[in-house]
Amino acid sequence: MGAGLDLACMCDMRIASDKARFSETFVKLGLISGIGGAWFLPRVIGHSRAAEMAFSGRVIDAPAALRYGLVSEVVADDELLDRTHALAAEIAANSGLALRYTKRLLRLSERSELSSSLEATAALQTLAHLSDEHRESVERYLKAQRSAKRPA
């Protein structure tokens, strides 16, 4: 609630337990978000929904958070930790360099025109092509493809 929601909005991805509840409760206490909620929340769920949550202080449940785009997935409470670990492992299996560049481009795209984003993409793609991580990733991919085509 309140600051917890603000902190969640600072994350790139959010998975919620089916028991999760979310709210911007500050107005109920005669306060405002002091850690950037008014900046993060509209970027996550849009201005109208953010205004509704911030002005009302209403609590929403996990299915509503999914509909609002606040979370990308809702899982049973007892599956939350396993699901987040699985997603983290899936992400960690990728190139760290490519992940850093992708995050940089996603953030840049929030505040720039398409032409600027494409220029940054071209520059970072060139750097990625020249990296050892790219070469190693291609080798692993090709090896996996060859293994998948061999009869069992």
Q: What is the pLDDT of residue 110?
A: 86
Q: What is the pLDDT of residue 111?
A: 87
Distance CA 24, CA 5 (A): 7
To 10 degrees, the CA torsion angle through 35, 19, 72, 34?
Answer: -10
The two tokens of residue 112 are 């720039």
Residue 112: burial class (beta carbons within 10 Å; 0-12, 13-18, 19+): middle
DSSP code of residue 93 = T
DSSP code of residue 71 = -
Q: What is the pLDDT of residue 152?
A: 62
Cα 125 to Cα 27, 98, 122, 138, distances in angstroms: 45, 9, 5, 15
| Predicted structure pTM score | 0.79
The two tokens of residue 31 are 């306060």
Distance CA 39, CA 30 (A): 19
Q: Report whether 63 contacts 24 (CB < 8 A).
A: no
Q: What is the pLDDT of residue 65?
A: 98
32-74 pLDDT per residue, tens: 888 888 999 999 999 999 999 999 999 999 999 999 999 999 9
Per-residue model confidence as pLDDT tens for the chain (152 residues): 778 999 999 999 999 999 999 999 999 999 988 888 899 999 999 999 999 999 999 999 999 999 999 999 999 999 999 999 999 999 999 999 999 999 999 999 988 899 998 998 899 999 999 999 999 989 988 998 988 887 76
Number of Cβ within 10 Å of residue 129's Cβ equals 9
